[in-house]
Amino acid sequence: MIKYLGLPLVAVATKFDQLCPKIYEDADYVYKSPKARDETKEVSLALGIQMRHVFPIVNYIDDRDISIGKNRLALQALNTMVQMIQDHLQHNKGIVKSNDKWEEREKRLPPLRHLNEKTITLKKLQDEMSELGDSKLRILVVGPTNSGKSSFIDSISSTLRDDIVNKAVGGRSASWGPEGVSSTEKFQMYPIKYKHESGRLKSINVSFGDTPGFQEMGGITVDHVNCKDIPYIVVLTKGDKDNQVVMTAKRRVFGSKTVKECKEKLMDLFKLRQSVIFPVVNYVHETAVDLQADALLIAAFSEILKIGMEYLEESDVES
């Protein structure tokens, strides 16, 4: 729950002097003891925090004299706690405190606090996708160069497969090319698959089209895009950039001052409604999916699926 709320977390592990006689004799030996290291690692894995945030200490119990080693261990833990609190308060300056409809959208995200909740959410999504039948839903992804279009496609696939996917790798090479030149060189379609409850991957009639970015040097430009009569949403990527709070608790992206300012600029520039803008945190360097990132991605994909299916139904009626 604490990690879910984005609060800093450290673990103070006590009674390390009972692990090893040498630690009992000299508390400073705790960082040399293999047993202490193994115990610290177990605590780290159990709580899902980094080992550097697990602090072994040796309490004063029957002592009559002050121990420099015990003091050192306790002060190291205390110093880190104070520093993390200060960092948390500093980063929270970028979080907007007032409640509004934008921030309230966090409450409407899929809960996904546990794996079973994600399983239930994906099952509902799979039922919706099955309603496509033989109809094919093709989603065109357009945007500025290096804005995270390819990463977004991979991130949607990662969420649906419950495993990191690196298929649309155009964005990964951004740092190697000339600045302002799209790292996705040509248009390409990526069919979407999802992890069935049986554990197998299944195909659906949904595909994402990856495009070169808006730019002056080749590729697609804004003038080439005409969304008239075509349903769309706006995906606001990189919501965790330079924001430690959102990095830790991705669902809180709606409270980010930076994200909110970007949202306001988009609304003003393109005359958008707030409801069509979906902030996400893409999977880029991660090796495993994250439930909070999944919640944002599922919210965006659900809306895409909803308006896409509505468009297909209206097209069938008109034809």
Question: Would you state the pLDDT for residue 178?
Answer: 45
Question: Would you state the pLDDT for residue 224?
Answer: 56
pLDDT in tens, 252-282: 999 998 999 999 999 998 888 999 999 999 9
Residues of the chain with pLDDT under 50: 1, 171-181, 216-217
CATH topology (fold) of 101-318 = Rossmann fold (3.40.50)
pLDDT in tens, 49-100: 788 888 988 899 888 889 998 898 889 889 888 888 887 777 666 555 555 7
Question: Would you state the pLDDT for residue 183?
Answer: 62
Q: Which residues pair with 208 in a beta bridge?
A: 139, 190
What is the DSSP track for 163-224? S-----GGGGGGGGSPTTS-S--S-EEEEEEEE-TTS-EEEEEEEEEE-PPB-SSSS--GGG
Sign, CA torsion 136/111/109/240:
negative
Instruction: Give the residue extent of every domain in the chain.
Output: 11-94, 101-318
Confidence (pTM): 0.67
